[in-house]
């Protein structure tokens, strides 16, 4: 039974140490509430993608605990866990030899849904991401634009009705106009379906625009955690201030244009 008051994701003092003693993640603790989007932000190599991979056990933690829907994931079968948690990777990650319909149907099929259930869900998901099934279902990824492929990626990740979606730089490969459109559409989709999400991004402007809360990472640790407004008002360090400088400069430039 799902408790609506319980965090969908609860990460407690999680660490990751690789052979040779390299500490990629150091005692990271986070919670993600139901329907919330948490951004893991920071420069390349700060440990944010490693945290993402530990959530669905693409990497196993060296220490600490991770609870998904109240259950310690260390006791879960990793493959079964990944089928319950949506994943959107950098680029679209679609199988090029499968049609749009077949790509979206992968997780429901692996979960043992009936053919009718799968067919209905494919229609529903393609409609939600604005790719009408009559026009797009039988196309292959190579026949789609970058934005269309990423829409299919979201449809595939959400087809199994996950409570949590993990996203690794999901918009970084897109042109600015398509990127902005998909960011807005994603937040509308999240509001409609009610799933939670953890998004890795090196783009602080993207984190500020999209996230309910932001965890800024450096050298494997969380150096500040708060709402976008809290980070803008009170950056905790020169490092955080530096990450915020580009979006601040952009905002100043836009205000000056309207002056």
Q: What is the pLDDT of residues 167-199, one digit of tens each?
A: 999 988 788 888 899 999 999 999 999 999 999
| pLDDT in the model for residue 172 | 84
| pLDDT in the model for residue 150 | 92
Can you give the pTM of this predicted structure? Answer: 0.93
| pLDDT in the model for residue 2 | 62
Residue found under tokens 């866990």: 81
* Of 222, 233, 249, the residue nearest 39 (C-alpha): 222
Work out the average pLDDT over 140-152. 94
Work out the average pLDDT over 221-231. 96
Q: Is the pLDDT of residue 34 over 60?
A: yes
The CA–CA distances, whole Å, from 197 to 64, 237, 243, 249 equal 21, 26, 22, 28
Q: Are 152 and 100 in contact (CB under 8 A)?
A: yes
Give the mean pLDDT of the chain.
Answer: 93
Confidence of residue 257 (pLDDT cuts 50, 70, 90): confident
Q: How far apart are the first and last CA of the chain?
A: 55
| pLDDT in the model for residue 259 | 57
| pLDDT in the model for residue 1 | 53
CA angle 230, 232, 237 (to 5 degrees): 90
pLDDT in tens, 80-105: 999 999 999 877 789 999 999 999 99
Confidence of residue 224 (pLDDT cuts 50, 70, 90): very high
Helix (H, G, I), strand (E, B) or coil at 226: strand
| pLDDT in the model for residue 89 | 83
Does domain 36-58+75-258 correspond to CATH entry 3.90.1150.10?
no
Share of the chain above pLDDT 90, in %: 83
Q: For residues 131 and 115, what is the distance between their CA atoms, to the nearest angstrom? A: 21
Q: For residues 103 and 136, what is the distance between their CA atoms, to the nearest angstrom? A: 12
pLDDT in tens, 54-89: 999 999 999 999 999 999 999 999 999 999 999 998
pLDDT in tens, 94-139: 999 999 999 999 999 999 999 999 999 999 999 999 999 999 999 9
Residue 39: count other Cβ atoms within 10 Å of its Cβ.
26
Q: Is 51 exposed, middle or buried (0-12, 13-18, 19+ CB in 10 A)?
A: buried
The CA–CA distances, whole Å, from 173 to 4, 41, 259 equal 35, 17, 33
| pLDDT in the model for residue 174 | 85
Q: Is 98 exposed, middle or buried (0-12, 13-18, 19+ CB in 10 A)?
A: middle
* Structure token pair of residue 231: 């980070």
Max CA separation in the chain (angstroms): 59
């Amino acid at each position: 039974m799902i408790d609506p008051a319980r965090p969908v994701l609860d990460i407690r003092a999680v660490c990751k140490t690789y052979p040779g003693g390299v500490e990629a993640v150091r005692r990271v603790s986070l919670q993600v509430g139901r329907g919330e989007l948490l951004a893991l932000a920071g420069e390349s190599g700060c440990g944010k993608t490693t945290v993402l991979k530990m959530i669905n056990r693409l990497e196993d933690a060296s220490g600490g605990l991770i609870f998904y829907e109240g259950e310690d994931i260390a006791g879960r079968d990793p493959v079964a866990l990944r089928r319950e948690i949506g994943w959107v990777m950098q680029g679209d990650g679609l199988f090029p030899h499968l049609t749009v319909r077949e790509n979206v149907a992968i997780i429901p099929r692996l979960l043992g849904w009936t053919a009718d259930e799968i067919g209905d869900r494919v229609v529903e998901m393609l409609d939600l991401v604005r790719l009408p099934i009559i026009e797009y279902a039988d196309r292959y990824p190579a026949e789609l634009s970058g934005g269309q492929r990423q829409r299919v990626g979201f449809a595939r990740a959400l087809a199994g009705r996950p409570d949590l979606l993990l996203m690794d730089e999901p918009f970084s490969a897109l042109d600015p106009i398509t990127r902005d459109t998909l960011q807005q559409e994603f937040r509308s989709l999240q509001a409609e379906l009610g799933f939670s999400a953890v998004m890795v991004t090196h783009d602080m402007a993207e984190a500020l625009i999209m996230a309910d809360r932001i965890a800024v990472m450096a050298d494997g640790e969380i150096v500040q955690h708060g709402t976008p407004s809290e980070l803008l008002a009170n950056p905790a360090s020169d490092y955080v201030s530096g990450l915020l400088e580009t979006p601040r400069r952009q905002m100043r430039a836009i205000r000056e244009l309207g002056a």
